[in-house]
Amino acid sequence: MANLPGAEDSTVVFRDQSIVSEKLQKFIQSGISNFQIVADFDYTMTSWAPSGTCFSVIRMYSGFGEEFLSKAEAIKKKHLPIHLDFSLPEEVRKESDYQWFTKTIKCFVDAKFPKTLIPVMLEASQCRLRAGVVEFLKLAHKHNIPVLIFSGGIKDVIDALLDREGCYFDNISIISNRLKYDDKEIMVGVEEPFITASTKLEVAREDKYFKNVIRDNVLLLGDMLSDLKMASCVKYTDMLSVAFCNHDKDKEQYRENFDMLLMGNPGFERVTELLRQIVGEQPNRVEL
- Residue 25: exposure state from Cβ atoms within 10 A (0-12, 13-18, ≥19): middle
Return mean pLDDT, the chain.
90
Whole-angstrom distance, CA of residue 260 vs CA of residue 241: 6
Q: Which residues are 175's β-sheet partners?
A: 150
Q: What angle do CA 56, 57, 59 make, to 5 degrees?
A: 50
For residue range 156-200, list pLDDT tens digits in order.
999 999 999 999 999 999 999 999 999 999 999 999 989 988 887
Measured in whole angstroms, the distance separating CA 4 from the mean position of its chain's CA atoms is 23
The pTM of the whole model exceeds 0.85: yes
Q: Find out whether 217 and 236 touch, Cβ atoms under 8 Å.
A: yes
Return the pLDDT at 285: 39
The Cα-based distances of 226 to 109, 202, 231 in angstroms read: 28, 12, 10
Return the pLDDT at 260: 95
Three-state DSSP class for residue 80? helix
For residue range 77-124, list pLDDT tens digits in order.
999 999 888 889 989 999 999 999 999 999 999 999 999 999 999 999
H runs (alpha helix) in the chain: 17-30, 54-59, 66-84, 90-111, 118-124, 133-142, 155-164, 200-206, 209-212, 251-255, 269-279
- Residue 89: exposure state from Cβ atoms within 10 A (0-12, 13-18, ≥19): exposed
Give the DSSP per-residue string, 204-246: HHH-THHHH---SEEEEEESSGGGGGGGTTS--SEEEEEEEE-
Q: Are strands 187-190 and 238-245 parallel, antiparallel or unpaired?
A: unpaired
Whole-angstrom distance, CA of residue 90 vs CA of residue 189: 26
Q: pLDDT band for position 3 (50/70/90)?
A: low
Instruction: Express as a percent the part of the chain with pLDDT over 70.
Output: 94
Q: What is the mean pLDDT of residues 227-256?
A: 84
Return the pLDDT at 8: 60
Q: What is the mean pLDDT of residues 35-52?
A: 91
